[in-house]
Amino acid sequence: MDSNTSRAKRTPLQPLRSAGRQRVEELLAAASDLMAERGYEATTMAEIAARAGAKIGSLYRFFPNKEAVADALVQRHIAILEDEYAALAKRAATLSPEALADILIELLVTLHPRVKSLSALMEARTDKMEIRDRARGHAVAGIAAALRVCAPGLDEALAKDMAAVVLNTMKVLRSMLANDAPTTSGAPDELRRMNRLYLSDRLAPFRRGSDNATDGKTR
């Protein structure tokens, strides 16, 4: 009966049939949407179940408590983000700084919903922050690696600092595209411009054949 670890609150109870696995997917999707919309605290377990088309009992079959739902979401989002950033460096080899800047921007735009949900989850507990920091470290490392592939000879510490800057620039674009701000419709393009300008200026000294560093039109 108590063959499970006695340290867990209860049995985690993972799904064993396809119906259960699908239910878990629906529940997590509903929880992700709701928590991204309203935040962790404001989202109720009953709401999560309702949006997933289930009853609250089903929710508690697969997740011992509300925190476990948040944990599952965090883990899931982190894993996907790590994959994306790990894949980034491989694409960076043949790119100009300007093209790399644009690709980085595009990447975070597509990752937007997931990151937003993640930051909403962080509201919940401080002890999850270290997980977020770990993910951030992966992102920074991935971007820094891409920068150094693009510009060999770039100092590693500087690459990380620059990666942190670019990462946050991407976050900004994300929030610009999220809020519909009618007064600043040209702002996203300005941001891209700033990003290109910055990477172009900082990577120019380290590029191969740096005779024409000011012109970035490689294709």
Partner DNA sequence: GCATTATTTGAGGATGGACTCAAATACGTC
Partner DNA sequence: GACGTATTTGAGTCCATCCTCAAATAATGC
- For the bound state, the minimum distance from the C-beta of residue 19 to DNA, rounded and expressed in Å, comes to 5
Burial 26-47 (b: 16+ CB within 10 A, else e): bbbebbbbbbbeeebeebebeb
Based on the shown chain and the rule CB under 8 A, indicate whether residue 186 belongs to the binding site for a second copy: yes
Based on the shown chain and the rule CB under 7 A, indicate whether residue 29 belongs to the binding site for DNA: no
Contact track, a second copy, 122-161, x by CB under 8 A: -x---------x--xx--x----------------xx-xx
219 binds, among a second copy, DNA, none (CB under 5 to 8 A by kind): none
- Residues between 40 and 69 with contacts to DNA, criterion CB under 7 A: 43-46, 54-58, 60-61, 64-67
Judge contact between 131 and 74, C-beta under 8 A.
Answer: yes
What DSSP assignment string belongs to 110-171?
HTHHHHHHHHHHHTT-GGGHHHHHHHHHHHHHHHHHHHHHHSTT--HHHHHHHHHHHHHHHH
The interface region with a second copy, picked from 69-77, 92-100, 179-187, 211-219 by CB under 8 A, is 179-187
Q: Tell me, what DSSP letter sits at residue 65?
A: S
- Which amino acid appears at position 167 of this protein? L
Q: What is the spatial distance between Cα 200 and Cα 214, in angstroms, rounded to a whole number?
A: 7
Binding positions for DNA, rule: CB under 7 A: 10, 13, 15-21, 23, 43-46, 54-58, 60-61, 64-67
Binding positions for a second copy, rule: CB under 8 A: 38-39, 41-42, 123, 133, 136-137, 140, 157-158, 160-165, 168-169, 171-172, 175-176, 179, 181, 183-187, 189-191, 193-194, 197-198, 201-202
